[in-house]
């Protein structure tokens, strides 16, 4: 979309007609708008819990113990049960941040665009996508900074086949999480697009899969599960992979203030269209007031050095 509108009018020089690609020309323009599902945003699939905020911040506990502070004892007949305290985790506070932006559409752009009445919804979807991408980047950074690092024995795209051991790295990361004995059940593997490709290409994983199944990556072009973990692909990761318990890791704290005119779009993004009658235009505005919360850092493990 150009920064100014309208674009220059068509010009004719001899037999050559020059026309802006943003003006109405159905035979020259044809594409669909990419949504958040195509852009592989994953933070809300990893941080699945939802927290309530108060006064622009949210309080929560990190690494809350799931057993009492004393060993269970045998109780003799007629004796009183021993009291135990239930310890809490470390208290923490996170401030809500409002992420937002807006764009402007003139009446002329709406009328002359090949998308006509769809111009507003398409532009709003771009604003929504941009906000989701920003929140996704912030969330993934918070997750990576909290998880324990595990140095891998060999990168998955190594030129030496013997050092390509993604299944070993994944299973060892699962073991480390379970060995913390905090009730964590790893269920998700998050990888970069390149690491995802090498998961599908790995000979060890390929030989262990059912050969005649129709969900084989050679037919579908996808690998949905590895070692019981749901595989998520995101461009927010580059050289590392994450193994985690998505039910325990944490969540997103969203603030809803009831401001007039806002509706809720994809992934808790609030959107609003504002008519500017004095300039014959629309301001399309979107925001998400949120902060990612990593509550149980032990519920995940970051495998470093996965791909070069």
pLDDT in tens, 51-97: 877 778 888 778 777 777 888 889 989 899 989 888 777 778 889 99
Sign (positive/negative) of CA torsion 201, 229, 299, 289? positive
Domain boundaries, the chain: 33-64+88-304
Q: How far apart are CA 68 and CA 72, in angstroms?
A: 9
199, 231 Cβ separation under 8 angstroms: yes
Q: Does pLDDT of 33 surpass 70?
A: no
Q: How far is CA 221 from CA 198, 201, 242, in A?
A: 12, 11, 21
Round to whole Å and give the CA distance between 207 and 147.
31
Q: For the chain, how big is the Rg over CA atoms in Å? A: 26
Please write the tens of the pLDDT for every residue from 149-161. 877 767 888 888 7
Could you tell me the pLDDT band of residue 121, with boundaries at 50, 70 and 90?
confident
Percent pLDDT > 90 in the chain is 34
The domain 33-64+88-304 is placed in CATH, from the list 3.30.505.50, 3.90.1690.10, 3.20.20.60, 3.20.20.140, at 3.90.1690.10
Q: Report which of 173, 188, 178, 169 is spatially closest to residue 234, judged by C-alpha positions.
A: 188
**What global pTM score does this model have?**
0.79
pLDDT band for position 31 (cuts 50, 70, 90): very low
Nearest to 196 by CA among 154, 175, 161, 225: 225
Report how far Cα 4 is from the mean position of its chain's Cα atoms. 32
The DSSP secondary-structure symbol of 69 reads S
pLDDT confidence band for 119 (50 / 70 / 90):
confident
271, 253, 254: which is closest to 262 by C-alpha? 271
Q: Which residue has the higher pLDDT, 231 or 122?
A: 231
Contact 47, 293 (CB under 8 A): yes
Q: Evaluate if residue 243 carries a pLDDT over 50.
A: yes
């Amino acid at each position: 979309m150009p920064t100014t509108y309208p674009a220059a009018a068509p010009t004719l020089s001899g037999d050559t007609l020059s026309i802006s690609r943003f003006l109405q020309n159905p035979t020259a323009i044809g594409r669909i708008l990419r949504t958040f599902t195509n852009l592989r945003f994953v933070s809300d699939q990893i941080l699945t819990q939802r927290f309530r905020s108060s006064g622009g911040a949210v309080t929560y506990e990190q690494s809350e113990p799931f057993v009492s502070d004393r060993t269970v004892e045998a109780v003799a007949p007629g004796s009183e049960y021993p009291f135990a305290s239930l310890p809490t985790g470390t208290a923490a506070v996170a401030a809500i941040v409002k992420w937002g932006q807006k764009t402007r559409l003139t009446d002329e752009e709406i009328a002359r665009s090949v998308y006509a009445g769809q111009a507003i919804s398409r532009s709003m979807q771009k604003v929504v996508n941009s906000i989701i991408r920003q929140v996704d980047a912030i969330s993934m950074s918070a997750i990576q900074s909290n998880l324990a690092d595990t140095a891998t024995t060999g990168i998955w795209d190594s030129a030496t086949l013997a050092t390509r051991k993604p299944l070993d790295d994944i299973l060892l990361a699962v073991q480390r999480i379970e060995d913390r004995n905090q009730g964590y059940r790893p269920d998700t593997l998050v990888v970069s697009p390149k690491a995802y490709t090498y998961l599908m290409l790995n000979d060890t994983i390929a030989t262990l899969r059912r050969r005649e199944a129709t969900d084989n990556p050679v037919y579908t072009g996808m690998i949905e599960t590895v070692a019981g973990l749901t595989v998520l692909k995101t461009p927010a990761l580059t050289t590392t992979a994450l193994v985690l318990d998505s039910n325990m890791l944490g969540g997103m704290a969203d603030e809803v203030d009831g401001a007039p005119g806002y509706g809720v779009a994809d992934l808790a993004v609030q959107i609003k269209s504002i008519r500017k009658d004095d300039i014959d235009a629309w301001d399309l505005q979107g925001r998400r007031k949120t902060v990612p919360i990593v509550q149980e850092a032990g519920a995940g493990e970051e495998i470093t050095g996965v791909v070069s």
